[in-house]
Structures are given as C-alpha cells and as structure tokens.
Amino acid sequence: MGNRKLRAVSLPPMGRRRRLIELGKDLLILFLLLSAIYLAARSQLYTGLIREDGWISKAVSLLSGETARPVDQTEFTTPAQSIQAARLAVCHGLGENGQPIRYGVQYDTAQAAADFSALSSYLSEGVASASAPQAVSREAWLQALQTPGVYFDLLGEAPLEYLGSASLTGPVRRLALVWEGGDTAVLYYKNEKSGLYYACPTSLRWAGYLEGALQDYTDNGARFAFELEDYRMLLEETLLLPETPQPGLYQVQTVLDLSEVGDRSALENALGFWGSDYQVPGEWVIREDDELRISSDGVLTYEAAAAGGLDPRYDVTGSDGEASLVQAAALACYLAQQAVDAWCGTAESAAWLYLSSVEETEDGWRITLDYCLDGATVYLGDGWPAATFTVSGGQIASFEIRPRCYVASEGTSSVLPQRQAAAALEALSPEDPRELLLFYEDGSSMAAQWGGF
C-alpha cells in the first residue's frame, strides 16, 4: 500500500443540455430576486428603504430604465418669472380738452401678454432701482395715473421682493412708472395689505428710454372709473374701455386617466417623485420619506417628512441658509405649472397661473395661486384656489394643487354692457364702492360674468 498513488477524482464532463439547465436555474433565481425587490417597492412595505437614494429605489430604477431625478432648482430661481399683467395702460398725459390720452388693454390674453412682454423689463428695472418709499395721498396716486407713464395690474398680490426689489416690502397688485419732469421715472404703488400709496424715485431713464418705448401705444379711449361720471360708484382704479368685452367660452378637458400607471407617473415625475405608488380608497399614495397623494378627482396633496429627516425635497433657503421668500414663491409657481403641464399631457391649457397672495405665518408663508382666463380669475368650487403652499422650516412643508386643463370653445361670452353692470352693482351695494371685474366659474361649460369685488 505504500506504493499506492493519490489520484484526483474528476466529474464527468457536463453535457451541453446540462449546462443549459443550470444556466436556466441561475436566471430564474435572479428573476425571482429582482421581482421580489420590485414588488417590495410597489407595496411600499419597507418605507425606510424606499428613498430616492436607497438601494431598492435604484434597483427599481434600473429595472424600469429610469433614473431618480430631483427637481431642477435652476428652473425656478429667476424672480418674477411667473408674473403677468392682466391689464395694462399707457398714458401720454392730458389732452387739450382735459381728458387723458391713454391706451389700455384687458380681457385679452394675447394682447396683454404681448404688451407686458414688451414693457416688463422697465417694470423690473424700476422696482429694482427704487429708493426709499414716501407715503402719498390717494389723490396723488390718482393724479399719477393721468401722468405720462405706464400702469400695470397684476390681478394678484405679489411681494415687492419677488418683483426684484432688495429694499421695498409689501404685497402689491397695482404699480405705475410715471414721469414727473425729472430725468428718471417715479414708481408709484399701492400696498394691498395696508391700503396705503407710495412713491419712490428710481434710476430708470425717461427721455430716450422709457418714453420711446411708450410712443407706439396710441389712445383707444381707456379710462379709469374716477374719470367718468357714470362710473363714480366703482372703485377708482377700475379700468374701462369703450367697447363691451367679449371674452371667450371655455370648458374643462380631462386628459389623464388616473387608473393608468403611466398617467399617474407623469404627475408624480413632474413633482420629482420617481418611486412607485399604491392605491388606498379614493386615492393613490407614493412615499419616499415624504408623501404625495393623488385623489381620484385629481387633487395633488404633499406632506414633507418630519423635521430632522432627509434633506428637504423642496428646499427654499437662500445662499445665506435662511428661508427665502423669492425662492419659495418661485418654486411654488414652478411646481404648480409642472403639475398643470403634466395634467394636460399633449394638450395646452388656455389658462395661466398667477400669484394671488402671499401671507406671512408664524414660521414662514402661505402662498396661493389661481387660474386666469382672458384676464379674468377662475373660481373653483367651494372657493378653492388653484394651489396652496405652506412654507416652514426652510422648505415647502405641504401643498395642495388642483390641476386643470381649460380649452376654448366656439363663440364668446355674452355679458352686459359695462354701464348696465355698474348700475346693477350699485343697486346691490350703494354704500360700498367695488371693482367691476369679469370672472369665470370652473365647470364643464364656462362663460364670463360680471362681479363686484
């Protein structure tokens, strides 16, 4: 036995059929593993792992071919990018008959947008260069509206910081850049919170600059209510044109089918959510530490994760680390528009979103947006705004967005002549001057109508 040699024992060669069977087993195991990961993500059983930078989220993204992407913060950092004037007036002073020579536009989306696009840079420059404000009387404000210059009505209340001011504060809707004989224009505005009027010198050149930009706007008979005897019962700044407005007819178009995963994903992705949702009675939920809910009627509701968790999804801090009103308002407008664009799909809504109010809260702001059609506010059911955002702790802590896709119908709204509408308004509230405005009510068939506000 001492001469016996140790021999290696080898397995017989594996046949081709055997190799294919073993490879099939390996592929089946891999498929079951990946399926388990995907189903765990779909059911959200492990919410601590389902996060944008978590390994399950990354695995699911690889399976679906998608890469998780946060909201691109370069998209919305430009101040006043969502500001649009609903009405605008250019005055060339008083004529020989003592009547103003004025061009005006309202209830005409295309024309108002074109005029504002041509003149908005002067507004931005005037606000940015404005020096310390001086309180002025109501009479001085009304006189400014008859002085050579340009008047802007934003319809909603925008913070002066959001319009580009580093020193002025307060919510404004109405502003005017006018010439009072100097080298530069003077900025007038009404603080919508206090009801007080202010004037500020600016460095905006008049001769050869703003004056030249206004020359092509010729008189079309636009007047303010305080200039017309028949309309003295209205709020002084109510703008009136000789012809009765003819705003369009609209309807709500339902584009997305929320029962379809792809349609819901379009909404979720637009707001920076890239995981998978699950259904509960009446809504779908997607959790990535914070939470987004989509109700069966399309309302989008967001709640941020508790303080001390991951980095905020919707951070609104500036370069100094402090919460920025400009950043918060711009991000709110951006997110609401993203939701509307996704909701409309390949269609395009005729409405535009405007910043209707910014209210200061104990530790942040409450930002509200509304829809506008043909220069008229759209009122949703039960008085709901188009979107509401709550800002606290340096982030958007919650929001509620009601996306809508409005499309034009054939024909125009039939509304009373302005004089008759004003008389009817006076009969309803003879002691309370109001602004006569057109508005729409959200619904399947929408026609403009007069209201007193």
**Which residues form the domain of 47?**
21-64
Residues 57 and 130 in one domain: no
Query: Where is average pLDDT lowest: 72-86, 105-119, 271-285, 391-405?
Result: 72-86
Q: How confident is the model at residue 30 (pLDDT cuts 50, 70, 90)?
A: low
- pLDDT tens digits, residue range 132-144? 999 999 999 999 9
How confident is the model at residue 429, as a pLDDT?
A: 83
For the cut 80, the answer to whether the pLDDT of residue 287 exceeds it is: yes
Residues 216 and 261 in one domain: no
Average pLDDT over residues 292-318: 87
Residues 253 and 227 in one domain: no
Mean of pLDDT over the chain = 86
423 in a structural domain: no
Domain boundary at 188, 211, 243, which? 243
108 in a structural domain: yes
Residues 122 and 239 in one domain: yes
For the cut 50, the answer to whether the pLDDT of residue 84 exceeds it is: yes
Nearest to 146 by CA among 119, 175, 183, 178: 178
Residue 442 · residue 252 · CB < 8 Å? yes
Q: Kind and range of the H or E element at 22?
A: helix 16-43
Under DSSP, the state recorded for 130 is: -
- pLDDT tens digits, residue range 185-243? 999 999 999 999 999 999 999 999 999 999 999 999 999 999 999 998 999 999 999 99
How confident is the model at residue 430, as a pLDDT?
A: 83
Residues 220 and 329 in one domain: no
For the cut 80, the answer to whether the pLDDT of residue 55 exceeds it is: no
How many structural domains compose the chain?
A: 3
Residues 253 and 395 in one domain: yes
416 in a structural domain: no
Q: How confident is the model at residue 74 (pLDDT cuts 50, 70, 90)?
A: very low
Residues 54 and 91 in one domain: no
Angle at 261 between CA 256 and CA 265, to 5 degrees: 75
Helices (H), 98-204: 109-129, 138-144
- pLDDT tens digits, residue range 423-433? 999 998 888 89
Beta bridge partners of 210: none
For the cut 90, the answer to whether the pLDDT of residue 300 exceeds it is: yes
Q: What is the DSSP string of 29-89?
A: HHHHHHHHHHHHHHHT--TTT-STTSHHHHHHHHHHT-------TTSS-STTTT---SEEE
How confident is the model at residue 10, as a pLDDT?
A: 42
Q: CATH no. for residue 333?
A: 3.30.310
Residues 112 and 192 in one domain: yes
Residues 233 and 268 in one domain: no
415 in a structural domain: no
SS3 286: strand
**Radius of gyration of the chain measured on its C-alpha atoms:** 30
How confident is the model at residue 382, as a pLDDT?
A: 87
Residues 307 and 188 in one domain: no
442 in a structural domain: no
Residues 133 and 160 in one domain: yes
193 in a structural domain: yes
Residues 134 and 45 in one domain: no
For the cut 90, the answer to whether the pLDDT of residue 263 exceeds it is: yes
SS3 396: strand
Residue 107 · residue 125 · CB < 8 Å? no
Under DSSP, the state recorded for 209 is: I
Name the percent of the chain lying above pLDDT 70: 81
Residue 388 · residue 367 · CB < 8 Å? yes
